[in-house]
Amino acid sequence: MTLSQLRYAITVADSRSMNQAAQKLFISQPSLSAAIRELEDEVGIEIFRRTNRGIQVTPDGEEFVGYARQVVEQYALIEARYVDKEKVKKKFGVSMQHYSFAVKAFVEMVRRFGMERYEFSIYETQTYDVIENVKNFRSELGILYLNDFNRKVLGKIFEENNLEFHELFDCQEYVYLWSGHPLAKKKEITLEDLEDYPFLSFDQGSNNSFYFAEEVFSTYEYKQSIKANDRATMLNLMKGLNGYTLCSGIICENLNGSEYCAVKLSTEETMTIGYLKRKGIPLSSIGKEYLKEISKYNVTIQHTIIPRGVLA
């Protein structure tokens, strides 16, 4: 196996066409096809499936290409650092469900490290994409939650994709709504109290599943429900329609604004916030620092201390 073969596989996966990939690589299409066949024979898996619609990457191929990207990127960093004598920025990426506290932790980490020596990326996205981004090396970490309902199914998916979940802290369930909502002043809210108001949830796209839902009680029969695909729209729906969603209760005012609040939901359900990483690959120093920043919210929960900008 050579670096050239890895680059070939990455280019074919990105192009989804052997002809287009060959043009980008400035080699003949038969030579590229032969190199890919040799690579598949060597690693013992089918990386690409040839169809009359072009090239499709197999599930095994997706995993292989993910590893190939990391090898090629790491080689480029070594080459630039030690051969070309360039100053190369270290990279760190994180994917997450829609958690304002995870974004705030990212902001604080970037402020502390600065961007002169680092290249950062953050993806606030759907649950399936959080898993895929970590699996395919797009992100070093993925921030999501498990509970009694989704733990077994998601745990199986993590295992199949060579990923592992590490707990950070447990949260009770809260109702998140705008401060002018008729129920905002209550000390505790039941699901029955919420029946006259629209339930808001984050759309999970084509990979929609109860187990991928970012909100607990995903199988509950809500009388009214609206799906949104970003946090700003969710907040507008809360204020405009007296909508609500379910959350961990950790809210950052300086990201979401001060017009929203979290009220305890009357339930014994809990959710475990944690991080997803690839098995066998140690965390980078900056990944560890990001987790330290997020872990500060555990102190908030345990001691009910409310730092500036955070409601718990």
Where would I find the H helices in 114-205? 127-135, 151-160
Asked whether the beta carbons of 275 and 141 are under 8 A apart, the reply is: yes
Give the Å distances, CA to CA, from 4 to 1, 85, 243: 8, 22, 54
Q: How many CB atoms lie within 10 A of CB 118?
A: 14
Side-chain-side CA neighbours of residue 199 (13 Å): 21
CA-to-CA distance for 135 and 162, rounded, in angstroms? Answer: 8
> Which three-class secondary structure state does DSSP give residue 129?
helix
Q: For residue 155, give both structure tokens.
A: 């745990």
Q: Which of 101, 98, 94 is nearest to 296 (CA)?
A: 101
CA-to-CA distance for 64 and 58, rounded, in angstroms? Answer: 10
**255 pLDDT more than 50:** yes
Give the pairing type, strands 48-51 and 54-57: antiparallel
The predicted-structure confidence for 67-120, as pLDDT tens digits, reads as follows 898 888 888 878 776 776 556 677 899 999 999 899 999 999 998 887 777 889
The predicted-structure confidence for 112-161, as pLDDT tens digits, reads as follows 887 777 889 999 999 999 999 999 889 999 999 999 999 999 999 999 99
